Structure 1
Amino acid sequence: MQDTIFKEMLLLLAASVFMISLFRRFNLTPILAYLAAGIVAGPTALGWISSPDKMNLIAELGIVLLLFSLGLEFSFPKLIAMRKMVLGTGSVQVCATLIVIMLFCFALGLPIEASFAVGAILALSSTAIVIKQLSEKSNGLKDRKGQIAVSVLLFQDIAVVPFLITFPILSQGGDVAIGHALFMALLKGIAVFVLLIAIGKWLLPRVFAEIGQARSDELFVLTTLLVALLAGGVTHLFGLSMALGAFLAGMMLGESQYKHQLEADIRPFRDILMGLFFTTVGMRLDIYAIWVQFHWLILSVVGLLLVKAMVVYAICQVVKEKRTDSVAAAIMLCQMGEFGFVLTALALENELISSDIASLLIGVGVVSMAITPFLVSNAERLTNFILFGDLQSQHQDKIPGFTYNQSDHVIICGFGRVGQTVARFLKAEAIPYVALDFDPIRVQEAQVAGERVHFGDVRNAMILNAVSIKTARLVIITLDDAIKSQTVVSLIKDLNPDAKVVVRTSDDEHLNQLKEVGATEVVPEKLEGSLMLVLHVLYRSGVPIKRIFSRLRRERRNQYNFMHGFFPGENVDLGGERREQLEFLHAISLQETAYAIGKTLKELNLSSLRAEVIGLRRNNQEIEQPPEDIRIEIDDVLIIRARPSRVEKAERFLLEG
């Protein structure tokens, strides 16, 4: 038995590693890779996993830890402030979606009980995927559309409880029994809520204060896991969702000084278990049953996405949310959720639905969840595509005195701290400028203060044309994302090939790519910060200021070549594509048996290995940029610069030939 479980886990792990590597090459989210791994390893494909139900409990812990992490983002006062969205928007969304789908199913000829079950299953959205995708985006959980989505998802997690109670009773009948069971569930919910709030407020801070004084990383991590799982266990004991208990525990610790450490400690366990959860979702898909009713699957998925999106959008408009936030929230919440699989199994067990309907629902869930990462990641872009005409007219009216036909002006793309600093200096020099930003709150506050800033996505050609990109003298891009900056530079060069474009980046990781697409100047913050520090150090060390400025200008002309490469330490981030984007410095000591002894640098021709010799130490003296005709001697130390894989090849060549 143990050998079988070990073998199955090993095969599942291998499938996951392969799929993630494959999907990574196409820049697809790991969630899709986990789903694909589950489908491949599941009973209806290769059959590596004989019984997926064995892994359900462990996989459910991923959702528990995810909700614990989400709770850390929300304080109790913040949740109270969001009560209208949670109880209002959330409850109306669940009820309205349930009723619409229920009536549609009843019209197709399903019994009323089956129609209710299908409506309840499809009314829920994916807490796991939506929150995971939002947490990976900058301010994804903090902006308005993110808060709307989270509020609805929180109520949906609460709504799971009455559904779990109702399904078994529906198979037996009896309105009184349903009412009594729901009333008891409400009492239990209030009791467990008060209990966890009390523990979180008075006990947990003291526990973590003691743990913190012990200064043991292992003890802190174990305590964090214990608290999250205990909170989930308490709510499960009361017949409620484990995820709800974990959320309450995280929320209680969200205001503590340990918040960020807790989040960092829980992340590795959460991500691994969430991956296992998504593989179990993929295992549920019956490929053969889906193939037989493939046309119904596609129609059902499209119908579900449209119905839920329209319901969410309509509700958001009723409560007077912005159209952009309403559409974005609708896009993010239009899929079926992970709890839908639990309810599908329960409905099938209680004979509320047939096995064919259950297979179709599972297929709808897998397909809709598979496209959700794309929808969430591109919610702003899709919203802009759907509502762009309205957005343009809506925000143009908010900029009094803005002139669209001006020329020889500066356009600032991104009005964060850097963009605002640039704008202040331009204003002081009476240089005309206009700024673009996609944060409506920032734009509104800046406009009230008299700033010339306009709401719009700088990746949209119509927005750039609206601010006279074709007659601008200079465009400054201050975005945090270098990949987005590349897209904007390409678009600007298409619209105005003569425009000068200055791009701000955090480092020089994408410097060459930005230059290739047309950036006139790239300003890496970290390297420029280093140069400013060098300026002060050299000046305080007595170096003439003229010589210092000459050196700094030379570095900028050479694209910071002197500053490229560093000696890596233990904690250097080498994950993903970053490993081959960095250049390392490496010192190689050449002993008597080394292949390079007696040869010149020209003969060794390290440039063919894409490695560069930047220094040579001999007899405790350093020779910078040694000439190619210098001959290598015993005990010489060569300092080479190259990407990690090239460093290893160059060292092996110098030592072994």
Structure 2
Amino acid sequence: MTDYVEILAILTSAVLIVWLFRKLHLPAILAYLVAGMLVGEHGLALTHESVDYEHFAELGIVFLLFTLGLEFSLPKLMAMRHLVVAVGSLQVGISMLIFMSIALFLGQSFASAIVIGGILALSSTAIVIRQLSESGAMKRKSGQISVAVLLFQDVAVVPLLIIIPMFAEQSDTSMVLELLLALVKGVFVVGILLSVGKWVLPRIFNLVAQVRTDELFVLTTLLVTLVAAALTQWFGLSMALGAFLAGMMLGESQYKHQLEADIRPYRDILLGLFFVTVGMKLNLALLLSSPLLVLALLVSFMLIKILVLKFLVVRAGEQTKDAWASAIMLAQMGEFGFVLIALASQVNVLPLDIASLLLGAGVISMAITPFMVEHARQWGVWLSKEEQQNTDELSQLPSQNELNDHVIICGFGRIGQTVSRFLKQESIDFVAIDIDPLRTTKAREAGENVLFGSSRKTELLEAAKLSKAKLVVIAFGEDKQSIEVIQKVRSLAPDVPILVRTRNDDNLERLQLAGANQVVPESLEGSLMLVSQVLSLSGIPFSKIVKRVQKERKSHYSHLHGFFQGEHTDMSPEAIERIEFANAVLLTDDSFAVGHSIAALNLTARRVTVVSLKRDNSETEEPPLDTVLQAQDTLVIRGKPRRVERVERYLQEGR
């Protein structure tokens, strides 16, 4: 019964705190750490046998390393080898050496100093990559540098996972001999796993895939991961190393994305449990008793990482502003730092008070990371005053013609360039704004009117003569950025028409509410083009097809919204907030709606749309509001999933 109460306490605190942290746009990792701290022996003491959970939670790290192996790309590593070797390897090596020296100076043992150096040298791959992707900064030079450094750090985790357990072994042999022995074991195990991965696993997964059973595919994935982990553990190496190698083996296969999708739920849940167990070790009283010590550790290790990385990036030949920006992005402690803390604590290499101190500083550093990544470029430009001149040169139009009644294209990628070509054919002036410096430079060399910078900046929009433009086209397809650009354009020019490209209709209403005059969803436009071809090949006159397509666009693709859900439809909380379902409601003799007109039911007030009415063998699209419903009618309605459910109950029960 006690175990049940402990598990219930962990799950309850995790659910509530993760929900709160996501509302505050903070990483889920921090939520799990706080949940563990709350229920642990240093918090409310609701759990006492945390070691029981640690063995189970270790599987979270196994699955994390497996997915890391899936995403690990040797060709990508080779393509970025200049930055990976010149910056990534030296950053890890130099940072570790500095932190080790400081730890030894402060009285830590050699083993503890190595662990502390490894923990502080690593950055958060999960948080930084996610922030770069959401902000669209992945294509910037600073983003590419950050990815290269993180790529090497991910590889550097593996030897650290091997070395740390060795410090716990009381052996007469030297560390060098132990490392050599581990290297021989590692080469042997890698050889076995790579051979199996090349010759055996593809055939196994081909056989499994032919059965077409999702459960069998998932079970096979779990089995392969755990067998590889058990094999490396049997040879005295880390389970995580085996999982990483298993992921590498399957990373180049055709099943890569399916494997990642299958393993993600298990990884996320068990990884969450792992971080809860880490949080249980966080001694809040110790942190509160010495807040200045935590703050000093936080500021010092982040400052050292920033200075080291900035020096290395400049030394590699990159611009100073990019060096500062990438260094600021990678200043925090990473999730693998927590993994190393837990491992070192288990084998009694790291003192508990030092572990709590590192955990506290790491949690705070990760909490402020989204803010630092968001402002990294701005701070980088400010810290390197001389670099501002280079961006200013790209912020001036090469054309000397006076712009008037022109088109502004935000985003000069493939879509933006295609739009510009058609505009030139019709002799319509345009100005493009793009954040990719290489693309901007190449386009300007070809004589194109392209400004470098963010379309969200007032100065760039004014330089593009927004007040004299007749149309703004937002072509980059990222809805979050598009909304910000729309709001900025509307604040400067309330009346200018705005045309927005989006990938699908998920945020159609939000874009329109933000001020977009016309939203063009690629998926729906693709559907319209397909329908046009189908109708044309079916013998429908072209003029009638054009009228149908124009009508659909004028009604904001109303007939293309809503669909019947399938077995694999995304029903995650984020998806449910944006998708629309079509649902057929069969009215029986006892249904409340029978005998009522559609108008009397007032379904529009319940924010659903009546798509069609099926009666006997006929179907009426958008039936008149005065239509009286009868028994055995099938009413097809469309709306958000929860609204559709409520309306179906209302039609049947009247409440």
* 2:653 maps to which of 627, 651, 656: 656
Query: Could you list the runs of 5+ residues in structure 1 that have no partner in the other structure?
Result: none
One-letter identity of the residue aligned with 1:53 = V
Is 1:124 matched up with 2:125? Answer: no
Q: Secondary structure at the match of 1:615?
A: strand
Aligned in 2, Cα 1:211/1:616: closer, same or farther, shift over 3 Å? closer
* Per-residue Cα deviation, 1:65-86 (whole angstroms, up to 9, x for no partner): 2232232233444445556655
State how 1:361-440 maps to structure 2 within 5 Å: 361-372=358-369, 374=370, 379=373, 381-387=375-381, 393-395=389-391, 397=393, 402-403=398-399, 406-408=402-404, 409-440=406-437
Q: How far 1:390 moved relative to its partner?
A: 6.0
Q: How far 1:96 moved relative to its partner?
A: 2.0
Aligned in 2, Cα 1:327/1:222: closer, same or farther, shift over 3 Å? farther
Q: How far 1:151 moved relative to its partner?
A: 1.4
Is 1:35 matched up with 2:29? Answer: no
Aligned in 2, Cα 1:540/1:390: closer, same or farther, shift over 3 Å? farther
* 1:557 maps to which of 551, 554, 573: 554
* Per-residue Cα deviation, 1:32-84 (whole angstroms, up to 9, x for no partner): 33233222222222323323332223333323322322322334444455566
Query: Could you list the runs of 5+ residues in structure 2 that have no partner in the other structure?
Result: none
Q: How far 1:524 moved relative to its partner?
A: 1.6
The aligned residue for residue 150 of structure 1 is 151
Q: Secondary structure at the match of 1:634?
A: coil
Q: Secondary structure at the match of 2:582?
A: strand
One-letter identity of the residue aligned with 1:295 = L
State how 1:435-584 maps to structure 2 within 5 Å: 435-443=432-440, 446=443, 451-584=448-581
Q: How far 1:488 moved relative to its partner?
A: 0.9
* 1:620 maps to which of 617, 623, 630: 617
One-letter identity of the residue aligned with 2:156 = F
Alpha carbons 1:412, 1:434 under 8 Å: kept:
yes
One-letter identity of the residue aligned with 1:155 = A
Aligned in 2, Cα 1:249/1:653: closer, same or farther, shift over 3 Å? closer
Alpha carbons 2:230, 2:242 under 8 Å: kept:
yes
* Per-residue Cα deviation, 1:537-581 (whole angstroms, up to 9, x for no partner): 334444443343333333322222333333333332232133243
Q: Secondary structure at the match of 1:434?
A: strand
Question: CA separation in 2, counterparts of 1:232 and 1:444?
Answer: 49
Q: How far 1:398 moved relative to its partner?
A: 6.2
Question: CA separation in 2, counterparts of 1:349 and 1:590?
Answer: 63
* Per-residue Cα deviation, 1:9-37 (whole angstroms, up to 9, x for no partner): 33322322223333333444433332332
Question: CA separation in 1, counterparts of 2:345 and 2:212?
Answer: 50
One-letter identity of the residue aligned with 1:12 = I
Is 1:274 matched up with 2:271? Answer: yes
Question: CA separation in 1, counterparts of 2:163 and 2:359?
Answer: 21
Q: How far 1:381 moved relative to its partner?
A: 4.7
Question: CA separation in 1, counterparts of 2:189 and 2:527?
Answer: 54
TM-score normalized by the length of structure 2:
0.86
Question: CA separation in 2, counterparts of 1:640 and 1:258?
Answer: 38
Question: CA separation in 1, counterparts of 2:582 and 2:345?
Answer: 62
The aligned residue for residue 283 of structure 2 is 286
Q: How far 1:501 moved relative to its partner?
A: 1.4
State how 1:193-212 maps to structure 2 within 5 Å: 193-212=190-209
One-letter identity of the residue aligned with 2:553 = R
Aligned in 2, Cα 1:346/1:74: closer, same or farther, shift over 3 Å? closer
Q: How far 1:355 moved relative to its partner?
A: 4.5
Question: CA separation in 1, counterparts of 2:193 and 2:85?
Answer: 20
The aligned residue for residue 45 of structure 2 is 47
Question: CA separation in 2, counterparts of 1:93 and 1:151?
Answer: 9
Aligned in 2, Cα 1:553/1:295: closer, same or farther, shift over 3 Å? same
Aligned in 2, Cα 1:576/1:140: closer, same or farther, shift over 3 Å? farther
Which range moved further: 231-240 or 64-73? 231-240
One-letter identity of the residue aligned with 1:646 = R
State how 1:72-111 maps to structure 2 within 5 Å: 72-80=70-78, 89-104=87-102, 109-110=106-107
State how 1:261-340 maps to structure 2 within 5 Å: 261-323=258-320, 326-340=323-337
Alpha carbons 1:69, 1:263 under 8 Å: kept:
yes
Q: How far 1:502 moved relative to its partner?
A: 0.8
Q: How far 1:485 moved relative to its partner?
A: 0.7
Aligned in 2, Cα 1:328/1:183: closer, same or farther, shift over 3 Å? farther
Is 1:68 matched up with 2:63? Answer: no
One-letter identity of the residue aligned with 1:645 = R
Which range moved further: 39-48 or 205-214? 205-214
Alpha carbons 1:134, 1:146 under 8 Å: kept:
no
Q: Secondary structure at the match of 2:174?
A: helix
Q: How far 1:250 moved relative to its partner?
A: 2.3
Aligned in 2, Cα 1:564/1:92: closer, same or farther, shift over 3 Å? closer
Aligned in 2, Cα 1:405/1:41: closer, same or farther, shift over 3 Å? farther
